[in-house]
Amino acid sequence: MGNITLKNVSKSFGATNIIPDIDLVIEDGEFVVFVGPSGCGKSTLLRLIAGLEDTSGGTIEIDGRDVTNEAPAKRKLAMVFQSYALYPHMTVAKNIAFPLKMAGEDQATIDRKVKAAAATLNLTNYLERRPGQLSGGQRQRVAIGRAIVRQPSAFLFDEPLSNLDAALRGTMRLEITELHQQLKTTMIYVTHDQVEAMTMADKIVVLNAGNIEQVGSPMELYKAPKNLFVAGFIGSPKMNLVTGAAAAKHNAATIGIRPEHLRVTTPGEWKATVGVAEHLGSDTFLHVNSEVGPLTVRADGEIKVAHGDEIWLTPDAAKLHRFDTDGKAIR
């Protein structure tokens, strides 16, 4: 089981209030991603759940049991750190075996479980090596191996892929998602990368300045962002935000149009000049200066436009997002 409930959780460091007041329910087996910009409190929130930091207020429950004042070791959680945090003086096998040894398992059980974990993570040939002799991706796998052997009630990941190169990040993202499907254990994953959040999560928690801005499935957040912050944070490239007369026409202070919901048409609603055209093959991202301000357009991969070309753009009215003066979505 792995139900985690946060009730009025707060955290201050001296006079600095990092997390004012958070309520959150994480269901058993869910893949939850905490996402937000640097310094939004997402790592702190994870460390509060782990027990590596003490809360300043509120309670944390795991499977209905109040663990607010319990030591990390007692919470039955496993954590994968950004720096991998492997024990440099131990071999891969000993690193993976460490939590089992601490739990007092017998040697035969330890050997069996270590072998099974190594097989799952393609580490069988590296069991006798030390962390220093492994690549970044392999080290990350060892860290994951150390987490899975003890069959925790939930896994905590603190930006585990940020030290890897782009290609490896893609592979590891897939591997972690597959691992979740296989183990069906609760996973809480912290990242500042909204692509990781969108692709991996069952549920995304968007954080900003220690507050939860919105909780929902990736598509809920994409289709119906509650406010300007979420609208601007989720989606790549970012949503275009337009103010002024163009927004007033739709009875809003700000309107948001995702780059994929802007079409290049003749004639169209807004006139624009192409600044940069990024041809990615499958898509072309056009960064244009329009009469309503700078916009990003996701156009067809085959489109033939270049710097300085004049084009017309038409937003998809059905997929327009409207926001009031406070930045809240108008439904």
Partner 1 sequence: MARKVTTRHKIVATAAAWAVALIIFFPILYTIITSFKSETEAIAGFKLIPSFTTESYREVQGQYNYFKPFMNSVILSVGSTLLALLIAVPAAWAMAFSPTKRTKDVLMWMLSTKMMPAVAVLFPMYIIFRDLGLLDSRIGLTLMLTMINLPIVVWMLYTYFREIPGEILEAARMDGASLWNEIVYVLTPMAVPGIASTMLLNIILAWNEAFWTIRLTTTEAAPLTAFISSFSSPQGLFWAKLSAASTLAIAPILIMGWFSQKQLVRGLTFGAVK
The DSSP bridge partners found for residue 13 are: 16
Those residues whose C-beta lies under 8 Å from the C-beta of residue 291, and which sit 6 or more positions away, are 270, 271, 272
- The CA angle 66-32-54, to the nearest 5 degrees, is 35
**For partner 1, which residue of 31, 34, 98, 233 counts as binding (CB under 8 A)?**
98
Q: How far is the CB of 23 from partner 1 (least distance, A)?
A: 25
54 binds partner 1 (CB under 8 A): no
**For partner 1, which residue of 8, 27, 39, 87 counts as binding (CB under 8 A)?**
87
Q: Which residue has the tokens 């801005």?
A: 213
- The CA angle 302-305-309, to the nearest 5 degrees, is 165
Q: Which is nearer to partner 1, 51 or 216 (CB)?
A: 51
289 binds partner 1 (CB under 8 A): no
15 binds partner 1 (CB under 8 A): no
The DSSP bridge partners found for residue 254 are: 243, 323
50 binds partner 1 (CB under 8 A): yes
Site for partner 1 in 132-161 (CB under 8 A): 146, 150
110 binds partner 1 (CB under 8 A): no
Q: Which two tokens stand for residue 163?
A: 């030290």
Q: Which stretch binds partner 1 (CB under 8 A): 76-84, 189-197, 198-206, 255-263?
A: 76-84
Q: Which is nearer to partner 1, 30 or 53 (CB)?
A: 53
C-alpha distances in Å from residue 223, one per residue of 27, 74, 138, 307, 320: 23, 40, 37, 31, 10
**For partner 1, which residue of 65, 89, 223, 307 counts as binding (CB under 8 A)?**
89
129 binds partner 1 (CB under 8 A): no
Q: Which residue has the tokens 């930091």?
A: 53
Categorise residue 320: left if φ over 0, alpha if ψ from -120 to 50, beta otherwise.
beta
Q: Which stretch binds partner 1 (CB under 8 A): 97-105, 162-170, 172-180, 323-331?
A: 97-105
Sheet strands side by side (includes 270-279)? 262-264, 310-315, 270-279, 283-290, 293-300
18 binds partner 1 (CB under 8 A): no
**For partner 1, which residue of 61, 70, 85, 91 counts as binding (CB under 8 A)?**
85
- Write out the residues near partner 1 by the rule CB under 8 A: 50-52, 71-73, 77-79, 81-83, 85-89, 98-99, 102-103, 146, 150
